[in-house]
Amino acid sequence: MSGNPTSREESFLVRGGTRLSGEIAVAGAKNSVLKLMAVALMARGRTTLTNCPAISDVPAMADVLRHLGCTVEITADTVVIDTPAELGHVADDKAAQRLRASVCILGPLVGRLRQAVIAMPGGDAIGSRPLNWHQNGLNRLGAETHMDHGRLVARASRLRGATYELSFPSVGATETFVTAAVLAEGTSVLKNAAREPEIVDICDLLNQMGAKITGAGTSTISVEGVEELSPVTHRVIGDRIVAATWAMGAVMTRGDVKVTGIDPMFVHVVLETLRGVGAEVETGRDWIRVSQTGRPRARDVRTLPFPGFPTDLQPMAIALASVSDGVSVVTENLFEARFRFVEEMVRMGVDAETDGHHAKIVGRERLDSATVWASDIRAGAGLVLAGMCADDITEVCEVFHIDRGYSDFVGNVRSLGGEIERVPTYR
Give the residue numbers annotated as catalytic, written as ranges: 124
DSSP 240-297: HHHHHHHHHHHHHTT-EEEEES--GGGGHHHHHHHHHTT-EEEE-SSEEEEE--SPPB
Distance separating alpha carbons of residues 37 and 49, to the nearest angstrom: 8
Distance separating alpha carbons of residues 277 and 298, to the nearest angstrom: 6
Distance separating alpha carbons of residues 244 and 309, to the nearest angstrom: 11
Neighbours of 340 (CB within 10 A): 18
Q: What 8-state DSSP symbol labels residue 193?
A: -
Query: Which residues contact residue 227 at a Cβ distance below 8 angstroms, ignoring those fewer than 6 apart?
Result: 183
Distance separating alpha carbons of residues 61 and 79, to the nearest angstrom: 11
CB 211 within 8 A of CB 223: yes
Distance separating alpha carbons of residues 336 and 120, to the nearest angstrom: 18
Distance separating alpha carbons of residues 36 and 20, to the nearest angstrom: 32
CB 132 within 8 A of CB 103: no
For residue 307, cis peptide bond before it (omega within 30 degrees of 0): yes
**What is Dmax (Cα atoms) for the chain?**
63
